[in-house]
Amino acid sequence: MSETVKLTLDEIHGLSLTILKNAGYGPDHATAIADLLTTCQIDDCHSHGLFRLLMCAETMDAGKVDGHVAPVITPSDNAIVRVDARGGISLLAFHEALPHLIEKTRTHGIAAMAINRCFHFSALWPEVEQLSSAGLAAMAMVPSHSWVAPAGGTRGSLGTNPLAFSWPRQGQDPFTFDFATSAFARGEIELYRRAGKPLPDGVALDKEGNPTTDPHAAMEGAMLTFGGYKGSALSIMIELLAGPLIDDLTSLESLAYADGTSSAPYHGEIILAFDPAQFSGGRVDENDARAERLFADITGQGARLPSQRRYAARARNRARGYAEISKTLHDDLLALVR
């Protein structure tokens, strides 16, 4: 078993802030990013926790991202919140526009946030869970870089293209899922590479288009979608909804924009929110009970709801006051503290 380092929850947030500010992010962006990374690390989401500080630093070093720019929200009378990240990380744009999305959803019953011209590297579930904590159902989608081959293809055309959804539950953690439409998230392959472990079958192709379990070859080749043609079609849908629909880049265009640098993907994001009170005609309690009967039937046969393991990790780490990361990662992060 690899050696680990224990960090208190305050140390996780403090280390994130220090590294981000040293890398060149202003206080508003640094705080938004540190809050997200701390949330993910507390939930033992290692691929999207402190590990992502390395990408944040690389993106800044590549000279692509603006670590100080303020997002601009465009006023509207319709159900769409448009926010221009102006070449900054997406998280501050989301944070600034979130109250507007909640207000419009409660006004219209359904509303959407379109974030344009943003760098995105993070998990989506913390965003949709902020909406479910406000009593709204929500989903979010982003493209990425074209690292993923379509079903039947041999080279990257699609992004990892995650989809997240969260459903509010009274007095309980929400029903939430967040998964890439690729068989593995890019960060997971990088963690396998760092650990010297082979990938499972069916995850990636090498640069010649042949199946591979070598994470090094996978990083040079292409990833695969989950579920064959079904995952591929879902990934294409996300390309369209989070790209051309909102006047932003596809994953192919995002990779071209990176121009060979190790920067986070540059594109847009779409978030949809739904007001259960309006959709159910005011019968929220009755329909909450209907949803709970469904959840109970699932768990009653021994199945686990998505995110249950993550919620258990959150409760455990909060109770003991610390989370653990690998010593190798900790050493790499300390090298960024200068």
Q: Are 145 and 256 in contact (CB under 8 A)?
A: no
- Give the integer Cα–Cα distance in Å for 32 and 286: 37
Active-site residue 326, yes or no? no
- Give the integer Cα–Cα distance in Å for 331 and 310: 25
Q: At what angle do helices 125-132 and 27-42 cross, to 10 degrees?
A: 90
- Give the integer Cα–Cα distance in Å for 336 and 223: 29
Q: Of the listed 47, 96, 253, 292, which one is catalytic?
A: 47
Q: Are 176 and 192 in contact (CB under 8 A)?
A: no
- Give the integer Cα–Cα distance in Å for 172 and 143: 31
The token pair at 289 is 């009970």
- Give the integer Cα–Cα distance in Å for 1 and 170: 39
Q: Are 157 and 150 in contact (CB under 8 A)?
A: yes
Active-site residue 47, yes or no? yes
Q: Are 279 and 109 in contact (CB under 8 A)?
A: yes
Backbone φ/ψ region at 228: left (φ over 0), alpha (ψ -120 to 50), beta: left
Q: Of the listed 188, 190, 239, 269, which one is catalytic?
A: 188
Q: Of the listed 13, 29, 48, 120, which one is catalytic?
A: 48
- Give the integer Cα–Cα distance in Å for 25 and 70: 12
Catalytic residues: 47-48, 188
